[in-house]
């Protein structure tokens, strides 16, 4: 049990007077030593010429000296714990420092000083670590946001920031956080995640990885969609790694998260307004500016406002191969949300004009979902096939087979399977000298002939969808001749009508 937890339990539960007095003395001692250390060796802590190991060694030496000078009766274990926790406060991020160093923890959710949850292997659980009080938590929040030149106070009680390793941070304080302050940390892996890692995690298959690589090299415009926490940014980072190293890449984000391996990469962050409410630089301002910077590729971390219009215009004016992410529940919903975001730009554009822009700008939608077993999977890879009347036509190239079910350990057996649709942009890839293997789009048998997820699916599991294209009908059950005959007749009718994709 950590010293923080014991301190909290002493404060929250009835205890003997003597025990409470000792506990209060430890709290006071901790605060005194912390302030004394900042005064005495603050210049050492800020010395950039010293390595982190040298700074930590000097801090611990000074802590030992300060505790010995006070002659406080502490056990060896409590003394070492106190030194370690004060050092973490000064050099790191207090009690959550150990969680940040744990590679198995993906998210840290601080719901106030005494309630901290972590996500491990896709599942949430309550952690034993705690802050001493709200002041302690607030001090850590201030340290995090100040490192990236941002501020958080009563006038701006919300703040997005990042840690030096790229982990995403969101903080909320009083008066908005009733039981707060609140702190949410979405960690990034210490080592750059590669496409091989995604294949190992079963996020996608080797076949679909080759297909997506061909699309990125062939300068297709790609949108990665999905709900919160589905792995969109991680997938966008991996897809960006396919961009040839001789191209000039410009990334635009609210808080820098993308970590591209190429050498010629320019990263830009938005800026909130200052105390006077001036000086704000939005994502839209940055996207406009990228067009004057001679980009080969534009990668926007996430479209959530009027910058969507500028992004579409860039895709339609010679900046092929651009990429972004969008929060949505499915490929069809992605288009509907982009329509709404374009209208947020402040222009009263007709819906038909917006859809024309979307259909001509976008080539591919990669949709992600988080399944019940905690895994993050690509569940649909969908082509934007153009306009059919007043609607945009979509067709699934690869779809996740939900009907394969779960194994005995609760792990989903499903995977991406080809639907048999050959995308129209294959001709564009051929112009770039990219030839995919002939069997890339060969239709695969789905476990359930009725449940192929469509471009309108919005939840885990297939949504009602039109029948697949006649080039890729699902094989009927071998023991049902009547159903086989009915399906063959339906396939002939569909073939006569020659559909080009699904639309709604």
Which pLDDT belongs to residue 466? Answer: 42
pLDDT exceeds 60 at position 100:
yes
pLDDT exceeds 80 at position 173:
yes
Cα separation of 378 and 204, whole Å? Answer: 6
> Beta strands of 101-221 (E only): which ranges?
105-111, 116-120, 123-126, 158-162, 168-172, 182-186
Which pLDDT belongs to residue 2? Answer: 52
Cα separation of 79 and 30, whole Å? Answer: 11
Confidence of residue 472 (pLDDT cuts 50, 70, 90): very low
Is the CATH number of domain 195-497 3.40.50.300?
yes
Cβ count near 438 (within 10 Å): 7
pLDDT exceeds 50 at position 471:
no
| Domain 94-190, CATH class in plain words | alpha beta
Task: Tell me the per-residue pLDDT of 243-262, one tens digit each, with 9 for 90 and over.
Answer: 999 999 999 998 888 888 89
Residue 461 CA: distances (Å) to CA of 269, 286, 373: 37, 38, 13
Average pLDDT over residues 67-87: 78
Which pLDDT belongs to residue 252? Answer: 95
- Cα-to-chain-centroid distance, residue 174: 26
Lowest mean pLDDT among 129-143, 348-362, 447-461: 447-461
3-state SS assignment for residue 204: coil
Q: Where are the alpha helices (DSSP H) in 369-480?
A: 426-431
Phi, psi of 2 (to 5 degrees): -75, 160
Instruction: Name the percent of the chain lying above pLDDT 70.
Output: 82
pLDDT exceeds 60 at position 504:
no
Higher pLDDT, 207 or 26: 207
Q: Which residues contact 132 (CB under 8 A, 6 or more apart)?
A: 4, 7, 8, 27, 30, 113
Task: Tell me the per-residue pLDDT of 396-434, one tens digit each, with 9 for 90 and over.
Answer: 999 999 999 999 888 999 999 999 999 999 988 988 889
Mark 55-64 as b/e (b = at least 16 C-beta within 10 Å).
bbeebbebbe
Query: Is the Cβ–Cβ distance between 485 and 440 less than 8 Å?
Result: no
Average pLDDT over residues 339-350: 90
Which pLDDT belongs to residue 420? Answer: 93
Mark 236-263 as b/e (b = at least 16 C-beta within 10 Å).
bbbbbbbbeeeeebbbbbbbbbbbbeee
> Beta strands of 2-142 (E only): which ranges?
105-111, 116-120, 123-126
What would the 3-class secondary structure string for 338-363 be? HHHHHHCCCCCCCHHHHHHHHHHHCC
Query: Is the Cβ–Cβ distance between 180 and 154 less than 8 Å?
Result: no
3-state SS assignment for residue 148: coil
- Residue appearing with tokens 């001493």: 132
Highest mean pLDDT among 98-102, 115-119, 489-493: 115-119
Common-topology check for domains 94-190 and 195-497:
no
Report the alpha-carbon angle 415-369-110, nearest 5: 135
Task: Tell me the per-residue pLDDT of 191-231, one tens digit each, with 9 for 90 and over.
Answer: 788 999 999 999 999 999 999 999 999 999 999 999 988 99
Question: What residue ranges do the domains of the chain occupy?
Answer: 1-91, 94-190, 195-497
Which pLDDT belongs to residue 401? Answer: 94
Whether a cis peptide bond, with omega within 30° of 0, leads into 275 is: no
Which pLDDT belongs to residue 66? Answer: 81
Which pLDDT belongs to residue 189? Answer: 76
**Mean pLDDT of the chain, nearest integer:** 82
Q: Read off the tokens for 359.
A: 């259909």
Residue 263 CA: distances (Å) to CA of 212, 266, 402, 413: 22, 9, 40, 38
């Amino acid at each position: 049990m950590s010293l923080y937890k014991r301190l909290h339990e002493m404060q929250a539960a009835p205890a003997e007077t003597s025990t409470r007095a000792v506990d209060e003395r430890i709290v006071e001692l901790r605060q005194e030593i912390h302030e004394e250390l900042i005064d005495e060796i603050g210049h050492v802590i800020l010395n950039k010429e010293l390595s982190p190991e040298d700074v930590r060694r000097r801090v611990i030496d000074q802590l030992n000296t300060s505790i010995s000078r006070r002659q406080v009766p502490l056990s060896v274990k409590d003394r070492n714990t106190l030194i370690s926790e004060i050092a973490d406060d000064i050099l790191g991020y207090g009690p959550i420092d150990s969680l940040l160093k744990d590679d198995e923890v993906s998210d840290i959710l601080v719901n106030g000083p005494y309630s901290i949850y972590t996500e491990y292997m896709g599942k949430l659980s309550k952690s034993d670590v705690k802050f001493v009080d709200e002041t302690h938590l607030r001090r850590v929040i201030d340290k995090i946001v100040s490192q990236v030149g941002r501020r958080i106070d009563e006038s701006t009680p919300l703040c997005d920031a990042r840690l030096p390793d790229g982990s995403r941070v969101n903080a909320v304080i009083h008066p908005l956080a009733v039981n707060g302050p609140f702190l949410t940390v979405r960690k990034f892996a210490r080592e750059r995640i590669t496409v091989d890692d995604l294949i190992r995690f079963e996020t996608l298959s080797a076949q679909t990885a080759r297909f997506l690589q061909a699309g990125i090299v062939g300068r297709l415009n790609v949108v990665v969609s999905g709900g919160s926490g589905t792995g969109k940014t991680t997938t966008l980072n991996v897809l960006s790694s396919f961009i040839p190293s001789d191209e000039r890449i410009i990334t635009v984000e609210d808080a820098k998260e993308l970590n591209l391996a190429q050498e010629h990469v320019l990263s830009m962050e938005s800026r909130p307004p200052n105390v006077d409410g001036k000086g704000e630089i939005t994502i839209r301002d940055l996207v406009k500016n990228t067009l004057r910077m001679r980009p080969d590729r534009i990668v926007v971390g996430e479209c959530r406002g009027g910058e969507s219009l500028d992004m579409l215009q860039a895709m339609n004016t010679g900046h092929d191969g651009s990429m972004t992410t969008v929060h949505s529940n499915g490929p069809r919903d992605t288009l509907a949300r982009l329509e709404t975001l374009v209208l947020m730009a402040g222009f009263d554009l007709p819906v038909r004009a917006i859809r024309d822009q979307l259909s001509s700008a976008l080539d591919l939608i990669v949709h992600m979902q988080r399944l019940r077993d905690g895994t993050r999977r690509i569940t649909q890879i969908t082509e934007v096939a153009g306009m059919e009347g007043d609607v945009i036509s979509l067709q699934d190239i690869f779809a996740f087979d939900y009907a394969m079910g779960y194994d005995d350990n609760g792990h989903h057996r499903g995977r991406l399977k080809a639907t048999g649709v050959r995308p129209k942009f294959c001709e564009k890839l051929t112009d770039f000298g990219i030839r995919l293997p002939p069997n890339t789009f060969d239709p695969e048998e789905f476990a359930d002939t009725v449940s192929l997820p469509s471009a309108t699916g919005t939840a885990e599991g297939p949504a009602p969808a039109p029948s697949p294209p006649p080039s890729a009908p699902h094989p009927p059950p071998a023991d049902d001749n009547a159903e086989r005959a009915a399906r063959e007749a339906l396939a002939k009718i569909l073939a006569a009508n020659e559909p080009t994709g699904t639309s709604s």
